[in-house]
Amino acid sequence: MKKLLVIGTLALLVYACAGNENNKSTENKDQSNTLLSQAQGIFKALPATAENPENELTPTKIALGKMLYFDTRLSKTGNNSCNSCHNLNTFGVDNKSFSAGDAGKLGGRNSPTTFNAALHGSQFWDGRAKDVEEQAGMPIMNLVEMAIPSEDFLVKKLAAVALYQEKFKTAFPAEEKPLTYKNIAKAIAAFERTLITPSAFDTYLGGDTTALNEGEKEGMAMFINTGCTACHNGATVGGNQLMKFGLMNDYRPLTKSTNKDNGLMDKTKKDSDKDVFKVPGLRNIAKTHPYFHDGSVANLKDAVKIMAKTQLNKDLSDADADKIIVFLNALTSDIAAETKQIPVELSSK
């Protein structure tokens, strides 16, 4: 009789433990699904390309754009290409606070990444270009950056290259005179519209909750609950609005910035636009240091804590900042070797 009681008790304990485990598993699954639904409402998976109905993406146009992106002939003295400041081998940046232009003089703002930029709502730190088509032509004629003196100067320079004559005809077959400054910009933009970098985060957003580990999910929850997603949302986790840097607290004492940049105010001359800058997208952010418009902060953890203080008036602990960084690392992508490879036509230039 005692033996039967012991066996019965053990059976009840085993059943109870199994029930608790099942309940715990169900609870964890529910929490995981809730977090996924929350994330899907805030973020979006990246598309394969950033389409523009006014600039059809064709293989010949994209190939031409890539050649132009890497060609130093697009600068006055041949010292710089687009890739000089937006290096595809280093996630579309040069990892410098300010980039050196064609004559060696430094620019006034940090060079942002070209990866995923075509999906942003505007271009440049002050949002002065509506898209990459408009943006692509601007650095070429910037006196500090690539220093080409006029549109006609560059068109004539490239027209003297037989290969470009051929490639523009192929890329823009419907045009009688395809080698134009506008088409130079459109070709570069077409290539940039292919610079899309999905990561494990996109797999997760597609419904695979195992694509992110528990630490990455915890970091994402911390990122959301801290309030970062008020500005950093959508497919590019930012990049779609202009915002005052130092909304709650002046950023300069925290970043130690000595740069006199007033942001959008320098363009509009409006006091209300002082320190207003484009919100950067956070795709590959762990690789695109230094941070902010003036490249004043080299360390990602410092940047995260500064953002929490300046924008949200929150003092993040080191532990909470570390959790967010674990999530931000999940936004880093593997860049295809083919993307980073210099076109063979330029190797003998």
Residues 189 and 224 in one domain: no
Whether pLDDT at 8 is above 90? no
pLDDT band at 2 (very low <50, low <70, confident <90, very high): low
Q: Both 171 and 209 in a single domain? A: no
Asked whether residue 155 falls in the same domain as residue 209, the answer is no
12 within some domain = no
What one-character DSSP code corresponds to residue 89? G
pLDDT at 283: 98
As a whole number, the mean pLDDT across the chain is: 93
φ and ψ at 231, to 5 degrees? Answer: -115, -35
Residue 106, domain CATH = 1.10.760.10
Distance CA 87, CA 111 (A): 10
Find the DSSP H helices in 43-89: 59-70, 82-85
pLDDT digit string, tens, across residues 173-197: 999 999 999 999 999 999 999 999 9
Same domain? 253 vs 146: no
Does the residue 27 lie in any domain? Answer: no
What percent of the chain is helix, strand and coil (3-state, nearest 5)?
A: 50, 5, 45
Alpha-carbon span 291 to 62, nearest angstrom: 30
Residues 184, 207, single domain; the answer is no
Mark whether 187 and 104 lie in a shared domain.
Answer: yes
Does 42 map to a domain? no
Q: What is the distance between the alpha carbons of residues 284 and 217, in angstroms, rounded to a whole number? A: 17
User: Are 152 and 278 members of one domain?
Assistant: no
Is 150 part of any domain? yes
pLDDT 10s digits, 263-295: 999 999 999 999 999 999 999 999 999 999 999
For 244-261, the pLDDT digits (tens) are 999 999 999 999 998 899
167 and 250 inside one domain:
no
Q: Compute the C-alpha angle 300/304/305, nearest 5°.
A: 120
76 in a domain, yes or no?
A: yes
Give the pLDDT confidence score for residue 31 in this predicted structure.
75
217 and 192 part of one domain: no
Residues 162 and 69 in one domain: yes
Catalytic residue among 27, 134, 145, 214: 145
The mean per-residue pLDDT over the stretch 126-154 comes to 98
Q: Is residue 165 part of a domain?
A: yes
Q: Which domain holds residue 261?
A: 199-329
* Full-model pTM: 0.91
Query: What mean pLDDT is predicted for residues 147-176?
Result: 97
214 counts as catalytic: no
One domain, residues 152 and 243: no
Please write the tens of the pLDDT for every residue from 103-112: 999 999 999 9
CA dihedral 150, 154, 159, 161 (to 10 degrees): 160
Q: What is the mean pLDDT of residues 210-235?
A: 98
The C-alpha torsion from 78 through 185 and 84 to 62, rounded to 10°, is -110
Angle at 175 between CA 172 and CA 180, to 5 degrees: 75
The answer to the question of residue 306 being in a domain is yes
Q: How many domains does the chain have?
A: 2
pLDDT tens for 10-59 read 555 555 555 666 655 555 666 788 999 999 999 999 999 999 999 999 99
